[in-house]
Amino acid sequence: MYAMSNLGKNTIAMVLAGGKGERLSPLTIRRAKPSVMFGGKYKIIDFVLSNLFNSGIKKVYILTQYRAYSLSKHIRESWGKWTGLGEFFVAISPETNSECEEWFKGTADAILQYLRFVESTDADYVAIFGGDHIYKMDISQMIEVHRRNRADITIAALEVPVQEAKRFGVFTVDDDSRVIGFTEKPANPEPIPGRSTCFASMGNYIFSTKKLIEVLQNGKKKHEDLDFGKHVIPMMLESGDKVVAYNFNDNIIPGMKAEERGYWKDVGTIDSYYAANMDLIHVSPQLDLYNYKWPILTNQGNLPPAKTVFDEDDRRGQNIDSYVCAGCITSGGTVRRSILGPRCKVNSYSLVEDCILFENVNVGRHAKLKKVIVDKNIVIPEGTEIGYDHDEDRRRGFRVTESGIVVVSAQTRYEM
């Protein structure tokens, strides 16, 4: 039997990080979804990479595609540099692939285009994970379940209420969690035996290496847009391969709080992205970023501490119930229930409430922002008000969601 550390050493990972994230537009006009900021200083992709790193899996290929430059730069300057494992965190893109000029046509096609990396490895297992979700997971526990069951593929599964399962790909399982059926967004989801919940696919897989090579080579003969959910899993079920569901609720990481068990967020829309970020500033957030036994790693940068300036009756620099990153200066303004990315400046007499500011945002004097997401490097001119009159916000070219969140992006042509 493998020790847990050996399971990581006998596994390579392929991270699918090519998503456009169109529902997060305009934040994704010039960057891929995995490259979007989360929690002030992190990128969304840092969560899956931290899970892999903390689980002892340190041979990782990151498959990029759409607007890959900023993501590749982040990987190169953080994961490739400070881990000391530069050659093990490799971002590769079809745009730079001399053997194939085509973009990925499906999730499995992305792996197929780089099957040579799998074929050349001596690893027993291949972990294929998405790069655009927020969660913590000890992946070695999932690999152990895969090994113990002698499975061909093990699929990470969320346990969700029946009424919510209609939005997912849903597994039908037997009493031993062996998958016997799979349906995309079923009208009448079949619950787990003996429960009132369903198993929904998280899009994360552990394959036995030889089986992965076999099914992808067979699949490319039948499907040009080869996809794990649409094609590979149904093919494996049809051929009698052993497909096992792994219940994500069973995964326990060191230092985990009870309320964090099963935490997994898609953050695929502006509203869900905003809500997940805002949860971080609560007294007891569901996602604990202060668990030093399972750290979320990223490029820390060489920045000075955050500071507040001025303490006068009419001009007081203060951050209240907020999450403020390094390099920020709150200079005589008020920040309340907000997240400030690195190097932001909030100037005198200004008010920032319920907002998310990306890196290097400068809020001018007497400006007022409420429920606003501001993209990086934007200057909010003196006296500007955003988030108080949504008709005016739309006239300026900002995106306003149905729930009243305003997005100010670098690509928006607006008149302040």
Q: Which residues are annotated as a binding site?
A: 169, 184-185, 201
d(C-alpha 233, C-alpha 182), whole Å: 8
Backbone φ, ψ for residue 406 (5° rounding): -105, 135
Which residues are paired to 362 by β-bridges? 345, 379
Q: Is the peptide bond preceding residue 26 cis, with omega within 30 degrees of 0?
A: yes
The 3-class SS string of the chain reads: CCCHHHHHHCEEEEEECCCCCHHHCCCCCCCCHHHCEECCCEECHHHHHHHHHHCCCCCEEEECCCCHHHHHHHHHHHHHHHCCCHHHEEEECHHHCCCCCCCCCCHHHHHHHCHHHHHCCCCCEEEEEECCCEECCCHHHHHHHHHHHCCCEEEEEEEEEHHHHCCCEEEEECCCCEEEEEEECCCCCCCCCCCCEEEEEEEEEEEEHHHHHHHHHHHCCCCCCCCHHHHHHHHHHHCCCCEEEEEHHHCCCCCCCHHHCCCEECCCCHHHHHHHHHHCCCCCCCCCCCCCCCCCCCCCCCCCCCEEECECCCCECEEECCEECCCCEEECCEEECCEECCCCEECCCCEEECCEECCCCEECCCCEEECEEECCCCEECCCCEECCCHHHHHHCCCEECCCCCEEECCCCCCCC
Cα–Cα distance, 244 to 151 (Å, whole number): 6
List binding-site positions for alpha-D-glucose 1-phosphate: 169, 184-185, 201
